[in-house]
Amino acid sequence: MSLPSSFRKIVVNQLTTDFRKATSIVTKPLPKPNAHQLLIKNRYVGINASDINWTAGRYFPVKSLPIDIGFEAVGEIAAVGSSCEGFAPGSPVAYMGGAAFGEYCILPAKQVIPLPDLRPEYVPLLVSGLTASIALEKVGEIKSGETVLVTAAAGGTGNLAVQLAKLQGCHVIGTCSSNKKVEFLKSIGCDRVINYKEEDTNKILKENYPRGIDVVYESCGGDLFEISLNRLAVHGRLIVIGFINHYSAQDGFKAMRTSPIPAKILNKSASVRGFFLNNFIPLWREHGTKLAGLILGGELKSCVDLGEKSPVGPFRGLESIPDAVDYLYSRKSVGKIVVDLQNTTSSKL
């Protein structure tokens, strides 16, 4: 297999929530895998709200720049280390890591997930799918018959949380920001959809669900967090997977202000629980296998937004990744935003 001598990737040059300002495309020599590594040619990469948390340096102390970026990708094996048995060039794989925004990525063979074929629909099963599956089961402890509220329900992880809660036998409420998203959420089985730009979310929950909400899958922060907290049922569990409404602020991790939580959960024996995917690494393979089985069995729908309806879409090539990040924060996307790093439908390996 003929490989280039160099490749392009996106790196972070300065720490800011402005993704376009923070990053640039650089050309580097193509690395060769050691005995236990694989070289992956990336085809589809996923866009996450936390991409700007990464460019702002919020997840770990950044000692020097530039740093790589990109949480997830689906691609093909381009080269195999001498001790990587069971892997062959051309085989489709998925992975999660901190350097996915590049034409190639090198990583340990133990980190890749073999796939039956190469398609963008597998990308949502990574960060978004694993977050929804593990958070609902292990942190939310959802049970059949419970009432579940999903905020930002039409987003990359929200729509999967809706579907997984429905498969668990729950009554699911979803919030969203447009009538287009209302119809989408109805199509995937959401029992009650609230367009928070046209309806009073707190009033609807208070009047229609007087007993309260058993489990909340919350990713917005701000007013929706406060409403979710207030509407918890006795023994209710509020899962915080993020607070995207604050991410774009330079002090985003410090900007969230809420009324006193202890007073609001004490008399309900309720709880507010945080979820961060990297704290559950031992469960990734188990839940990834489960999600893939649900997709192949037709029980779970993988919803991908390649940007065809965005002002500058579809998203193709590394150059379009900043546009895809902007599109996510425009709140107009439906499902998981995915960038196709090639302009054709066939591999050029």
Task: Please report the DSSP string for 182-201 in residue order.
Answer: HHHHHHTT-SEEEETTTS-H
Mutual orientation of helices 222-230 and 201-208 as an angle, nearest 10°?
A: 20
Please give the class, per CATH, of domain 6-118+304-340.
alpha beta
Position 310 pLDDT exceeds 90 = yes
Q: What is the pLDDT of residues 232-255, one digit of tens each?
A: 999 999 999 998 888 877 665 555
The mean pLDDT of 300-320, rounded to a whole number, is 94
Give the SS3 label for residue 232.
Answer: strand
Distance CA 322, CA 308 (A): 15
Give the pLDDT score at 251: 64
Q: What is the pLDDT of residues 312-342, one digit of tens each?
A: 989 999 999 999 999 999 989 999 999 999 9
127-278 CATH: 3.40.50.720
Give the pLDDT score at 257: 63
| Residues β-bridged to residue 92 | 76
Model confidence at 344, in pLDDT bands (50, 70, 90)?
very low
Tokens of 240: 């915080």
Query: 96, 122 in Cβ contact below 8 A?
Result: no
Which residue spans of the chain are classified as CATH 3.40.50.720? 127-278
Tokens of 272: 């507010």
With a pLDDT cut of 90, the percent of the chain lying above it is 83
Distance CA 290, CA 136 (A): 14
Place of tokens 């649900």: 294
Give the SS3 label for residue 172.
Answer: strand
The model's pTM is 0.90
Residues contacting 276, CB < 8 A, separation 6+: none
Tokens of 194: 């609230």
Of 315, 275, 312, the C-alpha closest to 157 is 275
Position 107 pLDDT exceeds 70 = yes
Distance CA 181, CA 348 (A): 36
Place of tokens 């997977």: 241
Q: How many helices (H) and strands (E) does the chain have?
A: 10, 16
Which residue spans of the chain are classified as CATH 3.90.180.10? 6-118+304-340
End-to-end CA distance of the chain: 7
Could you tell me where the DSSP H helices lie in the chain?
19-22, 51-55, 127-134, 158-167, 179-187, 201-208, 222-230, 261-266, 284-296, 321-329
Q: What is the pLDDT of residues 160-212, one digit of tens each?
A: 999 999 999 999 999 999 999 999 999 999 999 999 999 999 999 999 999 99
Query: 81, 37 in Cβ contact below 8 A?
Result: yes
> Does the N-terminal peptide bond of residue 314 adopt cis geometry, omega within 30 degrees of 0?
yes
Query: 213, 173 in Cβ contact below 8 A?
Result: yes
Place of tokens 């085809």: 43
> Does the N-terminal peptide bond of residue 66 adopt cis geometry, omega within 30 degrees of 0?
yes
Q: What is the pLDDT of residues 278-288, one digit of tens each?
A: 999 999 989 98
Neighbours of 24 (CB within 10 A): 13
CA angle 297, 324, 74 (to 5 degrees): 40
